[in-house]
């Protein structure tokens, strides 16, 4: 019987090549350790043989790791706060009353009001109504406003009511265009247009509800000495002024608004002031061709006069005594008519009336400091022109007294 030979297994010996002899065994890294720390740790491992020193070293590393984690969390928190501040600064309007409220000169320049305190008092007088404004073209039904659970209907406000009021005053005082205001306030032009239309309607209704016609007792109490000596019965001084408007396409409208005095298409308004210089009557606007006499009779100021009162006016207000209430007279400078010159008495009377009547022209000049009234109004603003005129007249009463009686 033939038995198989037992096979001899030779051990596997790696080839002794140059590449195998020169290769290096990679070390296993446990994390992103800095190079200097790795060298220091390697040195410690080879040099430190005491277990207590190793334990102390491990505790130090754990403490340092904990401190770095806390520092990382603190930096993350600071970064989040800075991002939030940057976001708020971007949302904050670039033009606000808060930036100039401490500078009375700048505040008067931008708003027409003497200072921020006057602005704040006037704004507070509006009450809670400013929080329930129905904005123009917002699609809100005003009849449902009282049943609404929210203070304001429509989209969320991007500006505070106080800031909106400030922008309206800037619009009236400087006559800035809507695009300019929108850029300053960091909102769209459509949004600023809705704000302006809404606030102009609100301010017109608010001011018209305030009685500014002074009683006879108030007039006598505040009467300056120049009137007490010459014209003690004067109740009001009246005058008219004109605002330039765009020429209408209708020939009839062009004829009705053309002013022979300004040689342009205008709208005419009548203003009455008390003897202390406060505006006590503001009429609605009339077509520029309307005479001063016709505007005086039509505006309703004559119905406010009482027996014993007198009106002071210019020569253009040649009102017949038949049109005046009983016991009411009018003081106007004498006319030259067919005479070559005035008499000495007539000349003296003309000078006296002119020296006292000049105050109504000063009051009108104050109204015209609202530069929106100095520009030519386009036809598209025809519906707001009368409201803007009334608002600007009322705002001048918040200025210091026009006549200071020593």
Task: Tell me the per-residue pLDDT of 12-54, one tens digit each, with 9 for 90 and over.
Answer: 555 555 555 555 555 444 445 455 544 555 555 455 456 777 8
Look at residue 361 in the predicted model and tell me its pLDDT. 93
Q: Is pLDDT above 90 for 10?
A: no
Q: What residues contact 177, with CB distance under 8 A and at least 6 apart? A: none
Nearest to 181 by CA among 201, 159, 207, 154: 159
Look at residue 168 in the predicted model and tell me its pLDDT. 96
Report the pLDDT averaged over residues 319-334.
86
Look at residue 403 in the predicted model and tell me its pLDDT. 80
Nearest to 198 by CA among 152, 261, 244, 144: 152
Average pLDDT, whole number, for the chain?
82
pLDDT tens track for 171-184: 999 999 999 999 99
The residue that leads in pLDDT, 352 or 399, is: 399
Look at residue 244 in the predicted model and tell me its pLDDT. 94
The CA angle 129-115-151, to the nearest 5 degrees, is 15
pTM above 0.75, yes or no: no
The residue that leads in pLDDT, 57 or 270, is: 270
Q: Is pLDDT above 90 for 227?
A: no
Look at residue 88 in the predicted model and tell me its pLDDT. 64
CA distance 78 to 267: 61
Domains located in the chain, CATH noted: 97-208 (no CATH), 216-398 (3.30.420.10)
CA distance 141 to 151: 14
Q: Is pLDDT above 80 for 6?
A: no
Separation of first and last alpha carbons in the chain: 154
The residue that leads in pLDDT, 254 or 148, is: 254
Look at residue 119 in the predicted model and tell me its pLDDT. 96
- Angle between helices 104-111 and 161-174 in degrees, nearest 10: 70
- Angle between helices 161-174 and 189-208 in degrees, nearest 10: 90
Look at residue 150 in the predicted model and tell me its pLDDT. 47
Look at residue 40 in the predicted model and tell me its pLDDT. 54
Look at residue 195 in the predicted model and tell me its pLDDT. 94
Q: Is pLDDT above 60 for 147?
A: no
pLDDT tens track for 96-136: 888 899 999 999 999 999 999 999 999 999 999 998 888 88
CA distance 174 to 109: 8
Under the banding of pLDDT at 50, 70 and 90, the label for residue 155 is low
Look at residue 96 in the predicted model and tell me its pLDDT. 86
Look at residue 37 in the predicted model and tell me its pLDDT. 47
The fraction of the chain above a pLDDT of 90, given in percent, is 44
Look at residue 342 in the predicted model and tell me its pLDDT. 75
Under the banding of pLDDT at 50, 70 and 90, the label for residue 149 is very low
3-state secondary structure the chain: CCCCCCCCCCCCCCCCCHHHHHCCCCCCCCCCCCHHHHHHHHHHHHHCCCHHHHHHHHHHHHHHHHHHHHHHHHHHHHHHHHHHHHHHHHHCCCCCHHHCCCCHHHHHHHHCCCCHHHHHHHHHHCHHHHHHCCCCCCCCCHHHCCCCCCCCCCCCCCCCHHHHHHHHHHHHHHCCCHHHHHHHHCCCHHHHHHHHHHHHHHHHHHHHCCCCCCCHHHHHHCCCHHHHHHCCCEEEEEEEEEEEECCCCCHHHHHHHEECCCCEEEEEEEEEECCCCCEEEECCCEECCCCHHHHHHHHCHHHHCCCCCEEECCCCCCCCHHHCCCCCEEECCCCCCCCCCCCHHHHHHHHHHHHHHHHHHHHHHHHCCCHHHCCCECHHHHHHHHHHHHHHHHHHHHCCCCCCCC
pLDDT tens track for 258-311: 998 888 999 999 999 998 889 999 999 999 999 999 999 999 999 999 999 999
The CA angle 211-214-218, to the nearest 5 degrees, is 135
Look at residue 146 in the predicted model and tell me its pLDDT. 47
Look at residue 374 in the predicted model and tell me its pLDDT. 92
Under the banding of pLDDT at 50, 70 and 90, the label for residue 1 is very low
CA 249 to chain centre: 33
CA distance 171 to 351: 39
Answer whether 378's CB lies under 8 Å from 248's CB.
Answer: no
Report the pLDDT averaged over residues 374-403.
91
Q: Which of 169-173, 237-241, 251-255 has the lowest mean pLDDT?
A: 251-255
Q: What residues contact 169, with CB distance under 8 A and at least 6 apart? A: 110, 111, 112, 113, 119, 395
Answer whether 364's CB lies under 8 Å from 178's CB.
Answer: no
Under the banding of pLDDT at 50, 70 and 90, the label for residue 346 is confident
Look at residue 56 in the predicted model and tell me its pLDDT. 82
């Amino acid at each position: 019987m033939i038995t198989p030979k037992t096979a001899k297994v030779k051990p596997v010996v790696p080839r002794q090549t140059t590449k195998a002899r020169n290769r290096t065994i990679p070390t296993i890294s446990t994390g992103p350790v800095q190079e200097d720390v790795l060298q220091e740790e390697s040195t410690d491992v080879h040099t430190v043989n005491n277990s207590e020193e190793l334990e102390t070293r491990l505790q130090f590393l754990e403490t340092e790791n904990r401190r770095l984690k806390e520092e990382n969390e603190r930096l993350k928190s600071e970064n989040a706060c800075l991002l939030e501040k940057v976001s708020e600064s971007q949302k904050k309007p670039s033009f606000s009353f808060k930036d100039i409220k401490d500078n009375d000169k700048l505040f008067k320049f931008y708003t027409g009001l003497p200072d921020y305190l006057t602005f704040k008092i006037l704004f507070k007088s509006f009450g809670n109504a400013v929080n329930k404004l129905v904005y123009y073209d917002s699609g809100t039904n005003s009849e449902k406003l009282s049943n609404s659970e929210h203070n304001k209907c429509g989209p969320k406000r991007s500006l505070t009511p106080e800031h909106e009021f400030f922008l309206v005053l800037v619009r009236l005082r400087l006559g800035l265009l809507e695009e300019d205001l929108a850029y300053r306030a960091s909102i769209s032009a459509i949004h600023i247009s809705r704000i302006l239309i809404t606030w102009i309607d609100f301010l017109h209704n608010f001011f018209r509800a305030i009685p500014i016609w002074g009683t006879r007792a108030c007039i006598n109490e505040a009467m300056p000495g120049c009137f007490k000596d010459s014209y003690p019965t004067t109740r009001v001084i009246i005058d008219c002024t004109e605002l330039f408007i765009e020429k209408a396409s209708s020939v009839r409208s062009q004829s009705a608004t053309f002013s022979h005095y300004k040689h342009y298409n205008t709208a005419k308004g009548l203003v009455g002031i008390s003897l202390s210089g406060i505006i006590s009557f503001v009429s609605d606007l009339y077509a520029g061709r309307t005479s001063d006499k016709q505007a005086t009779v039509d505006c309703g100021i004559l119905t406010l006069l009482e027996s014993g009162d007198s009106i002071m006016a210019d020569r253009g207000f040649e009102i017949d005594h038949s049109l005046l209430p009983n016991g009411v007279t009018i003081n106007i400078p004498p006319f030259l008519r067919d005479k070559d010159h005035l008499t000495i008495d007539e000349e003296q009377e003309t000078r006296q009336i002119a020296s006292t009547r000049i105050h109504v022209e000063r009051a009108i000049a104050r109204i015209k400091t609202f530069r929106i009234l100095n520009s030519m109004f386009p036809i598209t603003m025809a519906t707001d022109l009368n409201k803007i005129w009334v608002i600007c007249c009322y705002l001048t009463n918040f200025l210091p007294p026009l006549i200071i009686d020593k």
